[in-house]
Amino acid sequence: MSDPAGTVSIVDHNEQLTQLKRDSAALSAVVTTADLTTAVPSCPGWSLSDLAYHVAAVYQHKIAAMRTGRRPDPWPPEPLEGWRLAPVPEFLAQSSHELLAELSARDPAQACWTWYAEDQTVGFWARRMAQETVIHRWDAERAVGAAAPIDPRVAADGIDELLVAFLSGDWSDDPQPGPAGFIDVVGAADRWRVGLRPDVVTVLRSPAGSASSNPPDATISGSDEELLLALWGRRPLPAAVGDRSLVDGLRNRLALVSQ
């Protein structure tokens, strides 16, 4: 297998900003033209208004983090900023504009607080917000009809981010029951080997077609979009080959870290 996954994003910074701009515009288009009370099936209990407000508030949180270099605290600010009192479509549009302006004006290597200890840079937020937006753009479009496809490389980068930044690491403070073993998540160009133990999760990324002397205990494969949406709980996981209990363990852990 290769070096630990996540050391280099699959999609570069400029591509992430381009994708963020495209998806935030598409999300805003839904919010400004659809009934805001429309239910969002992939986000149970949410309406389009709830989804749009969530995205806008997340954007504002990251804007504040970049402007100060620190974790925003307290959050939300008191008293509420004026933008939080605006109609939801305006709040989302203004927040999208401000986020893109902040990210475009900064070097991705600039130091900035993030919740991921291994990457304390502005670049982390560019990737995170691009992925946040592509998923919620899909949610919104699906709520009102058919969702546009997700670019395969963007989806692969999202798989990598979810497995590495959200899932992998030390679980000793919250050990999970279940069997230990290795699951391969295989997309079009990449393979992620996820090692599950009660107190730790490891992830290694390698080319999908590379040979391995150690076969996994289970394998999940599909298109990058199919895998991304399934790992984020938007669709069922593709049929697995091998130990089904490990796949169930992976699903349960993802549910804990992706709420």
CATH number at residue 203: 3.30.1050.10
17 and 104 share one domain? yes
Q: Which of 95, 127, 148 represents a domain boundary (last residue)? A: 148
Do the domain assignments include residue 47? yes
Tell me the pLDDT tens digit for each residue of 95-104: 999 999 999 9
pTM confidence score: 0.94
Domain that holds residue 136: 13-148
Do the domain assignments include residue 253? yes
Q: Retrieve residue 236's tokens.
A: 């069922």
Q: Which of 82, 114, 148 represents a domain boundary (last residue)? A: 148
Alpha-carbon distance of 117 to 12, in angstroms, equals 20
Q: Residue 89's pLDDT is what?
A: 96
94 and 126 share one domain? yes
Whether residue 6 is predicted with pLDDT greater than 60 in this model: the reply is no
Domain count, the chain: 2
Tell me the pLDDT tens digit for each residue of 12-23: 999 999 999 999
Do the domain assignments include residue 6? no
100 and 173 share one domain? no
Alpha-carbon distance of 175 to 200, in angstroms, equals 8
Share of the chain above pLDDT 70, in %: 96
| Residue 243 half-sphere exposure toward CB, CA atoms < 13 A | 16
Q: How many CB atoms lie within 10 A of CB 149?
A: 10
65 and 174 share one domain? no
**What's the rounded mean pLDDT across residues 149-174?**
97
137 and 171 share one domain? no
203 and 137 share one domain? no
Quickly list DSSP for 165-188. Answer: III-EE-TTS---S--EEEEEE-S
Do the domain assignments include residue 3? no
Whether residue 7 is predicted with pLDDT greater than 60 in this model: the reply is no
Quickly list DSSP for 182-209. Answer: EEEEE-SSEEEEEEEETTEEEEEEEETT
Give the residue among 124, 134, 109, 100 at the shortest CA–CA distance from 17: 100
Mean pLDDT (the chain, rounded): 93
Q: Which of 148, 167, 198 represents a domain boundary (last residue)? A: 148
**What's the rounded mean pLDDT across residues 55-63?**
96
